[in-house]
Structure 1
């Protein structure tokens, strides 16, 4: 008996009869009208397609945020985005946070024949002695090797530089955005370029 019930369960239909669509024959003229209507719908969807733009090219994130605030009057969502544009390699003699010690370290380096150096006077790197900034890792490695031959234990810091812009997502073109950029001055021209969404 148990086996018979299992067979009955597997033979049950995989659909509900009330949910099946009814197939209806359609005349050629009706098919042509439906296709024409679909083409019109597709064209209107293409016209209202979303396009994305990057406005501004700022070295400073705060400038991009100012622009974002200005553009938020015209566009609801104007995020600031960062793009990495450059890496550089900084050879340094580190600091322990004591300015007087950094000055003594500088004198020691000069006594060992290192004259191409600079003591960072302020900021987060205050007291660090810069021994060179290089565009490639190879240049920095050569400098480290030359310093090592003079018994100087320098460090290599890999840095990234970013540029900032404001992303605009629009389906109705850019107007009135460009007209309102003229009054926004941050020391450089503001560019607008189309980007992938």
Structure 2
């Protein structure tokens, strides 16, 4: 580039000197143009000769300037930016073992991340303050009773604030009075003879027992209290009559109710004098 610049400068200087030599820079005296002015032959020849010389000199100078301009433009075009082609993507064909290894590595990485998340969650939960766990109250079924009738059962439930619809009744053999009797005979004829013997000894209120445990025996008297029955037996023994005492039982309808209670509630009812038993369904 420097050489080209120096060349242009040199050409310009040469052209400047040539212009100065030919008198281009000399002042031309203005002469009044008259109608009678005549151009001499020598002047015309000199003018033609100067024009020919100027044409000869200007032609190579113009040619050199054009060549220098062309070379400069060629160099400029060579250093212009060009779009580089994009690299062609390379497709790598993986074999099945390689694909399996990559899949296994990916799954193991996912499992590792999942395990880290779980560990983080568990650590966060462990940092939380654990609330005290209240033990569950265990309740069981109990039969409360006996009661005299269903009305008494409902009143008892209302007074204790207990709700239950499982009210039921049962027939229960309860201890009753005390019977003084003469033992049963082995035969009916012997039984009649025993009755006549007792009447002869002054016992008028006697009768033959027709059913029950003492069937065939003779009832001599019934007492509500065992002590009175024992005294009467002693009096009969003084008369020579060997009698026995039996506490009889009678069937009675009793009412019960099944309720669900915990141990604390059961203790309160037991302290209040309520009888209970475990339900058969437990």
TM-score category of the 2 structures, normalised to the smaller one: 0.3 to 0.5
Compare relative contact order (CA 8 Å, sep 6+) and give the higher one, 1 or 2.
1
Instruction: Report the structure, 1 or 2, having the larger helix content.
Output: 2
Q: Which of structures 1 and 2 has the bigger CA Rg?
A: 2
